[in-house]
Amino acid sequence: MELKLENSLIKDWRGYKGRPFLISGPCSAESEEQVMETATQLAQIKEVSVFRAGIWKPRTRPNSFEGVGIEGLKWLRRVKQETGLLVGTEVANERHVYEALKYGIDMLWIGARTSVNPFTVQEISDALNGVDVMVLVKNPINPDIELWIGAIERIARAGITRIGAIHRGFSSYEKTLYRNQPNWQLPIELRRRIPDLPIICDPSHIAGSRQFLHEISQKAMDLNFDGLMLESHIDPAKALSDAAQQLTPNDLKKLLSRLILRNASTSDPKLLDVLWELRQQIDVYDEHLLDLMEQRMKVAETIGRYKKENNITILQSSRWDEIIKRVIIKGQAKGLSAELIDTIFKAIHQESINHQMKIMNNGVKNPSDEK
């Protein structure tokens, strides 16, 4: 089912000050003084639209700081009254929704650990039925776009019109520079599937470290994301949660000043002609790639027939290891990243296995078919 959103354009949202739609504030509300000092400084930054702070913190370990709870909602209400900023916080269950709305919270977001659970998202959706509030849905922990879209659909069915997605990266067993893998292709696919859905990038949770915040924020802007959620704390070194990824308000201001905001399109006829010609070239190369893929699979099928005739297993690990090492070296020499080569050739290898599997099992009866 195609999800259609009405009045979802972020430029029409209350509090919008221009691209990027900026949400900022500490990872956690720790004290009234810390919240008010941070908010007062952020209110002086013209780009900031929403002050964020975690009140209930879903932590991995039970002895970690899990938030101040309802008391923090009083502090957010004071921020709203004294600075004029909109305020937002994360909700993880029905009770959180009711309490947040009671204190006039303008924006709610559903975290990655919650969006992974359809039962909990539905509970939150039911609590939001008929409410006029902004709701953002973070991507699930794992790279599952259907689960992400499903959570967005549940919130949309509650009648929420100001709804958006937050890209905060995906968990991975592999160690990388970042805390979470960006997997940019997933939010790009989300934009293709739901064109009118505002998408906010959360560089703080992708990076996990201040040193990468600018490069991730810039990439999000280059990909035409609608906004950013950047964590800011008056004294990050003393933060009770996620200290390494938070900026001071002053450093946030510096980061924003370095961002380059590009146009989503152009009306220059000469440039449009040039782009059209280059895209035509891309289309031709794509056709060549598909033809080559077809030819490669035919060779793989021939190999599969020989393996079947000689009773040889499909997977030859040493041969695959040899291929992947060779193509990565050759690809890098041609200016292609190891990540790209690894992803493409793993997909090609899997498709080759699929083709050989069909040949290997052609004519083989499934025991369950005889029952």
Residue 165 in contact with residue 158, Cβ under 8 Å? no
Residue-averaged pLDDT of the chain: 91
Task: State the first-to-last Cα distance of the chain, in angstroms, to the nearest integer.
Answer: 37
Domain coordinates in residue numbering, the chain: 10-258, 269-370
pLDDT score of 280:
94
| Closest by Cα among 34, 304, 6 to 157 | 6
What integer pLDDT is reported at residue 231 of this predicted model? 98
Label residue 188 by pLDDT band (50, 70, 90): very high
As a whole number of angstroms, the distance between CA 302 and CA 136 comes to 50
Given a cut of 60, whether residue 371 has pLDDT beyond it is no
Mean pLDDT for the stretch of residues 158-184: 90
- DSSP output for 268-325: -HHHHHHHHHHHHHHHHHHHHHHHHHHHHHHHHHHHHHHHHHTT--S--HHHHHHHHH
Q: Alpha-carbon distance 337 to 329, whole Å?
A: 10
From 3-7, 143-147, 244-248, 249-253, the region with the lowest mean pLDDT: 3-7
User: How would residue 102 be classed by pLDDT, with cut points 50, 70 and 90?
Assistant: very high
pLDDT higher than threshold 50 for residue 268: yes
Instruction: Please compute the mean of the pLDDT values over residues 245-263 and round it to a whole number.
Output: 96
Q: How confident is the model at residue 1 (pLDDT cuts 50, 70, 90)?
A: very low
Q: Is the pLDDT of residue 251 over 90?
A: yes
pLDDT band at 5 (very low <50, low <70, confident <90, very high): low
The string of pLDDT tens digits covering residues 43-64 is 999 999 999 999 997 766 676 7
Could you identify the residue written with the tokens 């449009």?
Answer: 272
Q: What percent of the chain has pLDDT over 70?
A: 94
CA gap 58, 73 in Å, rounded? 17
- Number of separate helices (H) and strands (E) present in the chain: 13, 8
More confident residue, 322 or 64: 322
For the cut 80, the answer to whether the pLDDT of residue 93 exceeds it is: yes
**Residue 346 Ramachandran class (φ > 0 left, ψ -120 to 50 alpha, else beta):** alpha
- Mean per-residue pLDDT, 209-229: 96
Residue 211 — pLDDT band, cuts 50, 70, 90? very high
Higher-pLDDT residue of 151 and 272 is 151
**Amino acid letter at 105?**
I
User: Left (φ > 0), alpha (ψ -120 to 50) or beta: where does 108 sit?
Assistant: beta
**Fold observed for domain 10-258:** TIM Barrel (3.20.20)
Which fold does the domain 269-370 belong to in CATH? Chorismate Mutase Domain, subunit A (1.20.59)
pLDDT of 6 above 90: no
Residue 88 near residue 103 (C-beta atoms within 8 A): no
In the predicted model, what is the mean pLDDT of residues 285-302?
A: 94
Confidence class for position 361, pLDDT limits 50, 70, 90: confident
Q: Which of 111-115, 229-233, 317-321 has the least mean pLDDT? A: 317-321
